């Protein structure tokens, strides 16, 4: 399955207000869902710190939810996942080439 195939498939499971419209409500919903799922990933790491318990299967499960929200949010803003991946690859490759992978700022 390609990233774009996955993104297209996520539309068949997208049951939320104004799904597929690109409306502000859809963007709000998806951004909150993405943050929520990323929080669940962070929770798995918290348990590693607190309890020395590492659950890679549980982490993969939650990362799948993060990916779903990324796919839906990309769709809502008119970008397919493979284009988003290309944009990120280009950005990070440039930073690596310029030796500025660490640091801060969007445009370095």
- Identify the band that residue 104 occupies on the pLDDT scale cut at 50, 70 and 90: confident
pTM given for the model: 0.90
Is 104 inside a domain boundary? no
What domain range is 14 assigned to? 3-81
Per-residue pLDDT of 47-60, as tens digits, reads 999 999 999 999 99
54 three-state secondary structure: coil
CB half-sphere exposure, 49, CA atoms < 13 A: 6
pLDDT the model gives residue 81: 97
How many domains are contained in the chain?
1
Is 103 inside a domain boundary? no
CATH number, domain of 21, equals 1.10.287
Q: Look at the alpha carbons of 62, 96, 3, 31 in this order and tell me if their dihedral is positive or negative.
A: positive
**C-alpha of 60 from chain center:** 13
Is 17 inside a domain boundary? yes
């Amino acid at each position: 399955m390609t990233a774009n195939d996955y993104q297209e498939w996520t539309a068949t499971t997208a049951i939320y207000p104004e799904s597929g419209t690109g409306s502000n409500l859809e963007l709000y919903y998806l951004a909150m869902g993405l943050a929520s799922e990323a929080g669940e990933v962070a929770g798995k790491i918290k348990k590693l710190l607190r309890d020395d318990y590492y659950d890679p299967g549980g982490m993969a499960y939650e990362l799948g939810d993060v990916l779903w929200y990324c796919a839906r949010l990309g769709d809502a803003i008119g970008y397919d996942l493979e284009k988003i991946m290309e944009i990120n690859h280009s950005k990070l490759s440039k930073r690596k080439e310029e030796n500025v992978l660490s640091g801060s700022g969007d445009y370095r």
